[in-house]
Amino acid sequence: MSKTENRIKSIDSTSPLRGKAAVGDSLLSINGSRIVDVLDYKFFAYDPALTVVLRRPDGSEYSVHVHKAEGGDLGLEFESYLMDRARSCANNCVFCFIDQLPPGMRPTMYFKDDDARLSFLLGNYITLTNLSRREIRRIIDLHISPINVSVHTTDPELRCRMLRNPRAGESIETMRLFAESGIVMNCQIVCCPGLNDGAALDRTMRDLEQMYPGVHSVSIVPVGLTKFREGLYPLTPFTSEHAAETIRQVTAFGEYCLKKHGTRIFFCGDEMYLKAGIELPEDEFYEEHTQLENGVGMIRLLETEFRSALRLSDGVDGVPFSIACGTSVAPFFEKLVALAKEKYPKLDGRVYAIENDFFGRSINVSGLVTGGDLIAQLKGRELGQRLLISQNMLRREEMDFLDDVKLSEASAALGVPILPVEQDGFALFDAMAGELPAIRQPHESAAAGEFYSYNQNR
């Protein structure tokens, strides 16, 4: 029998299978190739002429011949987004952020995904430690690229210790195989003082540079430590001096790569610069901005876009507003408000830095600000007629914060409309000037939303 995950949940009105297949039927194969999961479905459904084999609930099978545009979607939605179970992480990383979550959060927050399919489809980072030989071969044969890889170190012994998985070191050879096969990898190093920094980081950068162009970009981000670390591996946060030293180390190697390959390959996350108290590089330093979602160059690009929006603008509404953000980026937003006021003196905006009491005050990024902290620290404050926050504070579909406080609840508690703004300088200026973003309506988890992923560095 076919898996329930292959069962059709809905058929789009424009699907070439509309009227030929039925909701409740299960997809078995396309052009003779068995469909195991969503990657098989997307790959084998690419061609314009297809023979689709399905199975009815009574067990009978039938074939349908369809024609569509090459690369066009078949328009099917299945019981499971992946058409399979999500693969959980086989590691027990010493720095794992999920292990540092407080009790009582929604169950999905504690699920550690490590699924290559989600890396390709949603941009999630994976360690490669739970890939079977079949899956490695399929990634190469189907040319599933790019994928995002959590590397942390290329020293096999150290990687086993950091990931606490005796097979973790084998994944470096998998990366070399991918690079030789033309698979593009964007990589992440969560840097932990005393573990994979210094000489260990030098080795990792040298090894990854030798995999170029397979290794396209690498971000180096500081480990995030919450207050919920009782019984966990003893880690220490970056000091400003150590962060500055790491920036110099990565930048120097990036200069070497730039001369050799025409690209830096290696970039420190914005949070490393904020910890060091060092001015972020200019926008062109970040080249293609490949690692934006990992917090690399995000702040500089936001400022560049904001300055362009300000230059092209022709007025503001003058209605008082406020911005709430993490403590690390509050000075940056104050700078943008001051820039706008230079051109438009009637602009009336305030910036509030939100201390993270939920996770611990060492967590200072906007993406991990919770609704409860927002309410507790802004209650009774002068907020103006609208409060702007980063869209990254919310789950995109449900429109609630990490502590399950709904956007509508926070807005009611503070007595002011709260407007989530995309990570875009033009959108930010528009919201400050009075061209307000529409508030998305929350709904139950969409398929991809089941695998909501938060980044400690946002």
Every domain of the chain with CATH number 3.80.30.10 lies at: 98-295
Phi and psi of 312, rounded to 5°?
A: -90, -10
User: How would residue 443 be classed by pLDDT, with cut points 50, 70 and 90?
Assistant: low
Mention the CATH class of domain 98-295. Answer: alpha beta
Which residues touch 259 (CB under 8 Å, ≥6 apart)? none
CATH for the stretch 301-446:
3.40.50
Per-residue model confidence as pLDDT tens digits over 16-39: 999 999 999 999 999 999 998 888
What H or E segment, with its residue span, contains residue 211? none
Phi and psi of 116, rounded to 5°?
A: -60, -30
Its pTM stands at 0.84
Average pLDDT taken over every residue of the chain: 91
Rounded mean pLDDT, 273-294: 94
Rounded mean pLDDT, 170-199: 97
Mean pLDDT: which of 38-47, 75-84, 125-134, 256-265 is highest? Answer: 256-265
Rounded mean pLDDT, 104-133: 82
Every domain of the chain with CATH number 3.40.50 lies at: 301-446
Strands 266-268 and 185-191 turn out to be unpaired
CA dihedral 190, 195, 196, 202 (to 10 degrees): 150
Other C-beta atoms closer than 10 Å to the C-beta of 344 total 17
Would the pLDDT of 96 be above 90? yes
Every domain of the chain with CATH number 2.30.42.10 lies at: 4-78
What residue has token string 């994979």? 196
CATH for the stretch 4-78:
2.30.42.10
Distances (CA, A) of 371 to 96, 321, 415: 23, 18, 14
Higher pLDDT, 441 or 350: 350
Rounded mean pLDDT, 387-400: 88
Angle, CA 443 vertex, CA 370 and CA 17 arms, to 5°: 140
Lowest mean pLDDT among 165-179, 231-245, 308-322, 426-440: 426-440
